């Protein structure tokens, strides 16, 4: 599999599907991530954001296959579903021969997250065989469009602990609230228990192509 996780900002991919990405990377799949609109968060300096993002990038570079975490070039808070943003993502999909794409759920409330989901759908429409939307413990459940778990991916203990380690680094930098990190711990255990596993991440499918 050639996987691309598309987030609006650094920390979005980590919240949404980082356990899955770490396991896929360990198992030899090619795993990439992109944050379309990186930038400073309120009083948090970009240098502090970048330091934690670098840790996440290094984690995705480890493993048997190829991997990277790319930064986009679009303004935070004003991300738009446009020719430029779709074209940027389309080039990444072509460059890495992406067949599997993960991104934000359409029910999230943040304007950049909503734009990212639309950008990803437009860019993936011709070439990607599998498009899944990840679950968010904050933004998804604040909107009238509820998340419906359809696909469960078991996450190993090592990968789940790796995800939480990165989230705790974002927490220490002031980017996340402690309740968000705690919610991720509980959500991973809850989705795992539903499938009789230790941990899992859930996704909602937009489409999936099966050959043969």
CA distance 96 to 3: 9
| Contact assessment for residue 201 and residue 153, using Cβ atoms and an 8 Å cutoff | yes
Specify the pLDDT at position 140: 54
Specify the pLDDT at position 211: 78
pLDDT band at 177 (very low <50, low <70, confident <90, very high): confident
Specify the pLDDT at position 59: 92
Specify the pLDDT at position 191: 97
Mean pLDDT, the chain, whole residue set: 92
Q: Is residue 207 predicted with pLDDT exceeding 90?
A: yes
Residue 192, both tokens: 């795992």
* pLDDT digit string, tens, across residues 82-138: 999 999 999 999 999 999 999 999 888 889 999 999 999 999 998 899 999 999 877
Residue pointed to by tokens 């795992």: 192
Question: Above pLDDT 90, what percent of the chain?
Answer: 77
Single pTM value for the model:
0.93
Instruction: Please tell me which residue, 49 or 43, carries the higher pLDDT value.
Output: 49
Q: Where are the alpha helices (DSSP H) in the chain?
A: 12-26, 46-61, 83-95, 111-124, 157-172, 178-194
**Mean pLDDT calculated for residue range 175-201:** 94
Q: Which one of 3.40.190.10, 3.40.50.10320, 3.40.640.10, 3.40.47.10 gives the CATH number of domain 2-208?
A: 3.40.50.10320
């Amino acid at each position: 599999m050639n996987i691309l996780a598309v987030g609006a900002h650094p920390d979005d991919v980590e919240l949404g599907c980082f356990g899955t990405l770490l396991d896929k990377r360990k198992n030899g799949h090619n795993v990439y991530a992109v944050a379309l609109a990186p930038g400073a968060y309120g009083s948090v300096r970009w240098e502090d954001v970048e330091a934690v993002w670098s840790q996440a990038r290094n984690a995705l570079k480890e493993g048997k296959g190829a991997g990277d975490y790319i930064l986009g070039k679009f303004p935070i808070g004003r991300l738009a579903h446009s020719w430029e943003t779709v074209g940027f993502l389309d080039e990444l999909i072509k460059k890495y021969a992406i067949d599997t794409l993960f991104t934000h759920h359409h029910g999230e409330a943040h304007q950049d997250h909503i734009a990212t989901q639309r950008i990803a759908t437009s860019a993936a429409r011709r070439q990607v065989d599998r498009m899944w939307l990840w679950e968010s413990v904050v933004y998804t459940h604040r909107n009238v469009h509820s998340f419906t778990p359809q696909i469960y991916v078991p996450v190993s203990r090592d990968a789940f602990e790796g995800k939480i380690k990165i989230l705790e680094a974002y927490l220490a930098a002031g980017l996340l609230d402690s309740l968000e990190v705690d919610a991720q711990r509980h959500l991973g255990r809850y989705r795992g228990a539903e499938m009789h596993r230790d941990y899992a991440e859930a996704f909602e499918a937009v489409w999936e192509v099966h050959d043969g």
